Amino acid sequence: MPLGVKSLLGLGLKYCVRTPRPTNNIKFTIDCLTRNLRLMWYFKYHSPDEDDGDGPSYIPGLYIPNRDCDPPECDDQALKKGITKFKVELQTTRKKYDRSTPSNLTPRQWKLASTLKNDDNLICIEGDKNVGGCLLRRNVYNYRGIKDHLGDTTVYKPLTKKEATQHLHILQYKYDIFLSKWKGKRQLSKTEWIYLRRAKKTTTHNFVIFRMSLKAYTNPWKMRPIVCCVGTVMNNLSCWLDHWLQKLRPFILSYLKDGNQLLTIFKSLGLLPP
């Protein structure tokens, strides 16, 4: 492995690299901010509880951004003045500090990062249990993926691209039948129907992606399979299902949000020190 890998990957995969000069497009940033604020203002007056006669007009958890749609102009004069003032202040500050500054990476780390980025023989993956980044040779990564997981025909079935595309088309056909059936029975609100239709439109040709993380703490080390469904039609459908399942939480006495909630309960019962 290249020298200095430990010091670079030891920073963690969430380490924010500070470049010598700003790289963001200030105009693009301002435009995105303005659009987001206008959307927030619009949604503030279209709450989830508002009903337009055909179900809720806006459900926060079921929203897919439509970049082709420009949100309506804001009627709040204070907000409009605030956006304009912020634009001027941001542009002025950007010009004031638009100069070279020391990076938070050493020259050696910068050089190594560039080398790893352009080296197709090496791959940096996430370590399991938050151990950080791990570096593997790509042929080892591919070999272990086939040997440990994809080569197991009792779990995975090999498909050609044509066969996979056919399965995807069948899934989309069933998806359309599902929408037509429940839309016709008026079981889907207008907002839900728009969300599910847009979900299909934006993910029509997307396949799930197989990748792996490394169990670096085991001896010998192993690979953990991850089937990434983000950006697929089934992922958006699961978000819609989760929206309704979340309504059952008050009736499930054993539901825990996370480990911190469990610790809070134990402390309130005197099982742990406060």
| One domain, residues 179 and 58 | no
Q: Decide: residue 233, CB within 10 A, 0-12 exposed, 13-18 middle, 19+ buried.
A: buried
Please give the residue range of the domain that contains residue 268: 141-274
Whole-number average pLDDT of the chain: 84
| Total structural domains within the chain | 2
- For residues 19 and 104, the answer to whether their CB atoms sit within 8 Å is no
| One domain, residues 150 and 268 | yes
Using the predicted structure, report yes or no on whether residue 271 has a pLDDT greater than 80. Answer: yes
Q: What percent of the chain has pLDDT over 70?
A: 93
Using the predicted structure, report yes or no on whether residue 48 has a pLDDT greater than 60. Answer: no
113 in a structural domain: no
Q: Which residues of 128-159 are buried (b: 16+ CB within 10 A; e: fewer)?
A: beeebbbbbeeeebeebbeeebbeeeeeeeee
9 in a structural domain: no
| One domain, residues 166 and 265 | yes
Using the predicted structure, report yes or no on whether residue 143 has a pLDDT greater than 90. Answer: yes
| One domain, residues 161 and 231 | yes
What is residue 50's predicted lDDT score, i.e. its pLDDT?
52
Last residue of a domain, one of 99, 133, 165: 99
- Residue 205 DSSP label: T
Name the band, by pLDDT with cuts 50, 70 and 90, for residue 51: low
Q: Mean pLDDT, to the nearest integer, of 104-111?
A: 89
Using the predicted structure, report yes or no on whether residue 100 has a pLDDT greater than 80. Answer: no
Using the predicted structure, report yes or no on whether residue 57 has a pLDDT greater than 70. Answer: no
Q: Decide: residue 214, CB within 10 A, 0-12 exposed, 13-18 middle, 19+ buried.
A: buried
| One domain, residues 170 and 55 | no
Q: What is the pLDDT of residues 208-221, one digit of tens each?
A: 899 999 998 888 99
- Looking at per-residue pLDDT, the higher value among 274 and 188 belongs to 188
159 in a structural domain: yes
| One domain, residues 178 and 67 | no
For residues 48 and 195, what is the distance between their CA atoms, to the nearest angstrom?
14
Phi, psi of 214 (to 5 degrees): -105, 130
| One domain, residues 199 and 77 | no
Coil, helix or strand for 223?
strand
Q: Which long-range contacts (CB under 8 A, 24 or more apart) does 29-33 make?
A: 29/90, 30/87, 30/90, 30/91, 33/83, 33/86
For residues 134 and 212, what is the distance between their CA atoms, to the nearest angstrom?
11
What is residue 224's predicted lDDT score, i.e. its pLDDT?
94
Using the predicted structure, report yes or no on whether residue 145 has a pLDDT greater than 90. Answer: yes
What is residue 6's predicted lDDT score, i.e. its pLDDT?
85
Question: 49-63, 185-199, 236-250 — which is least confidently predicted?
Answer: 49-63
109 in a structural domain: no
What is residue 53's predicted lDDT score, i.e. its pLDDT?
56
Last residue of a domain, one of 43, 76, 99: 99
